[in-house]
Amino acid sequence: MPPRPLRLAGLLLVFLLSGRFAGAAELERRTWTVDGVEREALAWIPLAASTTPAPLVFVFHGHGGTMRFAAARMALHQAWPEAIVVYPQGLPTPGALTDPDGKRAGWQKDAGNMEDRDLRFFDTMLADLQRRCRVDSKRIYATGHSNGGGFTYLLWAERGPVFAAFAPSAALLARGYERAQPKPLLHLGSPSDPLVRFAWQEMMIDQVLRLNGCGPRRPEAMGLTVYPSRKGADVATYLHDGGHVYPAEAGPRIIAKFFQDHPKP
């Protein structure tokens, strides 16, 4: 019989390779055909999601990003392993602030843009996941950074009834916001953002506070600040000093906690 430390190490290796560590499977690549174009995402599917209703979180990378970078940097599946977490991959897209030729991957910026290819991609992913998994319809969420955060705001405006809450980072929605209905929202941003100017983000936050029936924004409030809503749609901000970056150390944990605290009524 092998020495006890070797036996324990072997058992641990088998346990990890079985894909059952923390009750979840490995990230897997999934594909869908949308309007004749193959779309893809990395997905974290907890083992329990085949029998027990699970939360569902969509995580959208920024312009020029990838699903793999989002899974590594934004890592919602590590902060909330009980949830189904999907990291979709964007397609080459002209950027609003950079990459005007559209050589890098991104997301449509408003309704009707790019023939709504990404809204239809979302619809396809959601329908397929609801067929294949036990998705808790009261706990569906979206988050994203920069262009992905803008798409998160767009999902609020165009697919709002599907979702329980949202968490955009370093983003705003320039057009179409008037279609949004009150929903809990966590906005992550930096006053030193040199790309998506914080003055623009402040105007977006102020609009959300008014829509959701919250008190006025506290401009000096760094870190996490919560604005209770008289409409049951709390708003929170997480402000950091990192500029136009996703706050990888704190972001996933703060977003997961906000989502956990805000299911649909």
Provide φ and ψ at 186, rounded to 5°. Answer: -115, 120
Q: State the Cα–Cα distance between residues 189 and 195, nearest whole angstrom.
A: 11
Q: State the Cα–Cα distance between residues 18 and 39, nearest whole angstrom.
A: 28
Q: What mean pLDDT, rounded, does the chain reach? A: 90
Strand segments (E) across the chain:
24-34, 37-46, 54-60, 84-88, 91-92, 105-106, 135-145, 165-169, 185-189, 223-227, 235-239
Where does 29-261 sit in CATH, by number? 3.40.50.1820
Model confidence, pTM: 0.89
- Residues 80-138 have pLDDT tens digits of 999 999 999 999 998 877 888 888 999 999 999 999 999 999 999 999 999 999 999 99
Range scoring the smallest mean pLDDT among 109-113, 155-159, 258-262: 109-113
Sole residue written with tokens 């449509």:
108
Q: State the Cα–Cα distance between residues 141 and 61, nearest whole angstrom.
A: 15
